[in-house]
Chain A
């Protein structure tokens, strides 16, 4: 894949001149035109393009919002409503940005699960995967900071809960929390720095995305059967093949995005965030945005606050070492029947954890007579499976599992002993 000779031919005098000074068009040509992609990529592979599109969407709408937004504790909420009511198409820009964040997370979760299922984190793509995990962490931070900017009830009390987590660290906790707040409570100084950082982080994400795509172009894309392309027969050129397929994927995704923006723009948000922040009134249930819910459940599953915080960060941290936890020789789960089952349970478990994160811990998730299973206990089971999946199942399964026969090349799956392979 990489190291193949460049086929770029500058056509005009100007591009020849440019090419011998800054071969930027050559880079673009080699990366996005001539670049060979496995010909068997399915639609799960279009989510990389969808993510790039959403990042661009968030940056553009965000910059426009920042032109009208006022990062001040007494004016922030009203300035957001000013955008909704008085700025030309301000409602559109805000709803694009707010729902865009959710869609961005939908896409990143699909993208990551794709990687998990097809073993895209395995050698030689460890760095590529870790860069992806860094992007994901940065996205989580950006989403949290952005949500605080509205300065509604959920913004404020969510910011209090999350910043207080740092207070749980031994010795340095209190000082870190004061440092994050810029004072002794979540207040104007906090809002100001959150705005500054919310503006900064997406550009850091863009920087890491460049590294991510660079690493991708060195190792080449994985594909549904997890067998590296062996010859030209196994690949197609990026343009037009991948571009047009990605284009279709993005178009479909934007249709779904549009349905949210125009017809249910508040369905993913919390009603309490339409009440201006009031430090003296705490909402009955403080719940984060849906994309943090599984981790919120893990946090609350552990009775000790410090351990809860560590478990929450650990649940994402474990992704970073996944390439070394999975011992299987076979990359794609298409040929790992047992792994498939554990993977499906993992996905359902993550959804259940999300459901737990949404509900008060002491409520009964599954009522049985007078008692039943509370959400906190359900999230304990879920947390256990989350960690077990990565640190027990993945290492052991790779050793004991009997895999199905893997085809030799992308072009020949039907020929070799793979007639038994299910069509996925």
Chain B
């Protein structure tokens, strides 16, 4: 067996060392100060951050990015941004109702049942977040040729997850002097190719936070990323909470099974 191990050890060492060397060359990702409220098996979303993050999305990002998989009612679901235990049915949550009702740019469209025309109408909790553009050509025309991706799943759809989104949003730095940035593209230190078709969307004090949190670019980025992480999987807090019970139960079962095994096999030699 020792001989076998002497074969395994160098190969394993190689297998671990080589990817580590390769990783050095990739674009750098950052984690915000204080980390993420939702990280780790016990993490859950900081509700204040979710609410501020939604405000950033609604006031800044939603003019370019759709979130097709989200409805206003989701905002009031358990562990969500505007969950209030007085309203287990999020459609009754007055805050959610107001948010939907006041949605303006882009507005929610509906059919006028008298004239048959498609018109802007006040939103309902059951409405989906409205699309900023009628189609991708309109999107391209307005942003300079690049289609802003739907953000519903963006945190799960990028390597690096929340750290990646945060790093992109805070990564618009001066381009190094030897780099010429092509027309209609913006230099971003964390984007893999460094040239991104999105103008830096955030600026200090661009969004006002009602709870007095200082509205810096980093704070806005952290909050909107927290919101996007929630949106990419609204059930993740529930998953982690249920997981604790299930894991405890499974480990209990495994111990019981082990005890029975030892007992049954006691007399077999």
Q: Which residues in A have some Cβ–Cβ distance to B below 8 Å?
A: 39, 78, 81, 84-85, 91-92, 95, 236, 240-241, 244-245, 247-248, 250-252, 254-255, 258-259, 261-263, 265-266, 271-272, 274-275, 340-341, 344-345, 348, 351-352, 355, 363, 365-367, 422, 424
Contacts and interface: CB of A to CB of B under 8 A. Distances in A.
B146 to A, nearest CB: 12
B268 A236 contact: yes
B157 A272 contact: yes
A248 B257 contact: yes
B137 to A, nearest CB: 14
Contacts of B8: 344, 348
A269 to B, nearest CB: 9
Interface in B215-268: 232-235, 238-240, 242-243, 246-247, 250-251, 253-254, 257-258, 260-261, 264-265, 268
A340 B5 CA distance: 11
Interface in B14-67: 14-15, 18, 21-22, 41
Interface residue tally on B, bucketed by range? 35 or more
Contacts of B238: 91
Contacts of B69: 78, 81, 85
Contact of B3 (A261, A274, A341): A341
Nearest to B252: A251
Contacts of B4: 340-341, 344
A262 B243 contact: yes
A252 B265 contact: no
Given A247-B261, A255-B251, A262 B242 contact: yes
B254 A248 contact: yes
A254 B253 CA distance: 10
B97 interface: no
A245 B261 contact: yes
Given A245-B265, A248-B257, 8 more contacts: A91-B233, A91-B238, A248-B258, A251-B250, A252-B254, A258-B250, A275-B149, A355-B15
B107 interface: no
A107 B14 CA distance: 26
A271 B158 contact: yes
A365 B18 contact: yes
